[in-house]
Amino acid sequence: MNRQEELLEAVAEHVLRHGLIGLTLRPLAAAIGTSDRMLVYHFGSRDALVSAVVAAIGARSVAAVDALPGARTVRAGVNALWAAYQREPLRGCLDVYLQAAATGLIGQEPYLSDVRASNAQWSAALERYVVRCGASPRRARRVVTMVDSALYGFHLDLTTDTPEHLASGVDDLARAAQAIAHPATTGE
């Protein structure tokens, strides 16, 4: 691992622990045992560093989804995916993505292009997952479009709803995903 990769790993760990909002170079550099000049030397700017961190954390989330075993059905798979969202590493990765979205980073350059690439990788990982759970490849994208957006919403609702209420809503979503994946069957 070269020095830039080591720094990126350290910054990603820091961001996962402390968040992306309010991230500034000097305190960040001090926290990971380097200087702000070294961060600029290796990444060019704060924007480039943040973009690299968001991409690196996105890659972690893709790897986590790729590591999930397939479930017996799409319905069971969506419920298992929701459970994975509640634990590390996905929980922290999703929180960072939501922080980036909340601060407007995702919708503007220099982040927009990198985020679009990360989102494409994320969607592809989710498509592979729902196929492992029994969805046909031609219906997987449709399932993922609905499930991905809805699970982000449920993830945001964690602070306002009870886990039981959210689980019930997720299972309703899972039933709908099952129906899209296999129109002739709706149950397990």
CA angle 172, 175, 180 (to 5 degrees): 130
**DSSP label of 70:** P
pLDDT in tens, 32-41: 999 999 999 9
**How many CA atoms are closer than 13 Å to the CA of 73, on its beta-carbon side?**
16
pLDDT in tens, 149-159: 999 989 888 66
Tell me the C-alpha distance between 96 and 91, whole Å: 9
Which pLDDT does position 186 carry in this prediction? Answer: 46
pLDDT in tens, 13-54: 999 999 998 899 999 999 999 999 999 999 999 989 998 999
pLDDT in tens, 108-141: 777 777 778 888 999 999 999 999 999 999 999 9
Check the CA dihedral 34-39-41-43 and report its sign: positive
Tell me the C-alpha distance between 40 and 66, whole Å: 33
Q: Tell me the pTM.
A: 0.89
